Amino acid sequence: MLKGKNALVTGASRGIGRAIALELARKGANVAVNYAGSEEKAQQVVEEIESYGVKAFKIQANVANESEVKGMIKEVTSQFGSLDILVNNAGITRDNLLMRMKEEEFDDVITTNLKGVFLCTKAVARQMMKQRSGKIINVASIVGVSGNPGQANYVAAKAGVIGLTKTTAKEFASRNILVNAVAPGFIATDMTDQLTDEQKEGMLGLIPLHKLGQPEDVAKVVRFLASDDANYMTGQTLHIDGGMVM
């Protein structure tokens, strides 16, 4: 399905990013595994990907740093020869009630989760424009659509990602670069483990399917968007949330 395609997944050492990297590899893509700090975990993902018989390597870069991002894209294109799929997944949380949120907490999340997508997209666009093809998939969040108390920074960033997805889709459509987003709901990862029991219970009550999603549930939709099966879709945000937000 993705045989011969070359992909880069940011924040791929764990959680949803890891599941996406593995899923793309399982379908035949070569995958560059970006990470910020978890080198050991990134290496484990690389080894698991290689067991599928495709190429993989890990690459350290802070997505919020333009020169690191440029260096990363250069390295990936020189190792793989082309870059067909970019998954902007890297993200952090610094949850706090708005009245208690420090400026720094707001800035950190916007910088990594929103500016990071902008920088990676800009850096990869050059290569994809030359190729006259490419798939960019942004991992947003359902809270970017619905809002969520305690996550003003995260929600603002994710809503920003959805808007960025639409604009990028319009700017690059003429070059056959398709840009879509996924908006995961409540997925079982390290990030959602940090939520309080009260928050978790509250969210389960809002999910018609009444269960958490798994990282693989998101990964499979990303794999679809990355494939030729989604060639007539661009600028869309797909909710993967058990029906939480319709």
Query: Any bridge partners for residue 139, and if so which?
Result: 182
Task: Tell me: does residue 131 bind another protein (CB under 8 A).
Answer: no
Task: Tell me: does residue 171 bind another protein (CB under 8 A).
Answer: yes
Quote the DSSP letter at residue 187.
B
Q: 134 or 185: whose CB is closer to another protein?
A: 134
DSSP annotation string for 120-181:
HHHHHHHHHHHHT-EEEEEE--THHHH--TTBHHHHHHHHHHHHHHHHHHHHHGGGTEEEEE
Q: 102 or 132: whose CB is closer to another protein?
A: 132
CA atoms within 13 A on the CB side of 102: 4
State whether the Cα torsion 147-159-110-83 is positive or negative.
Answer: positive
State the minimum distance, in angstroms, from the CB of residue 176 to another protein: 12
Task: Tell me: does residue 174 bind another protein (CB under 8 A).
Answer: yes
| Tokens 């793989």 -> residue | 80
| Tokens 């902007």 -> residue | 88
Task: Tell me: does residue 126 bind another protein (CB under 8 A).
Answer: yes
Task: Tell me: does residue 26 bind another protein (CB under 8 A).
Answer: no
CA angle, 167 as apex, 135 and 151 as ends, to 5°? 95
State the minimum distance, in angstroms, from the CB of residue 115 to another protein: 16
Which of 74, 102, 130, 210 binds another protein (CB under 8 A)? It is: 130
| Count of residues that interact with another protein, criterion CB under 8 A | 6
Task: Tell me: does residue 101 bind another protein (CB under 8 A).
Answer: no
Which of 55, 94, 175, 220 binds another protein (CB under 8 A)? It is: 175
Q: Looking at 17-25, 56-64, 150-158, 171-179, which segment touches another protein (CB under 8 A)?
A: 171-179
Task: Tell me: does residue 204 bind another protein (CB under 8 A).
Answer: no
Residue 145 and residue 160: Cα distance in Å, rounded?
10
Q: 51 or 67: whose CB is closer to another protein?
A: 67
Task: List active site positions.
Answer: 154
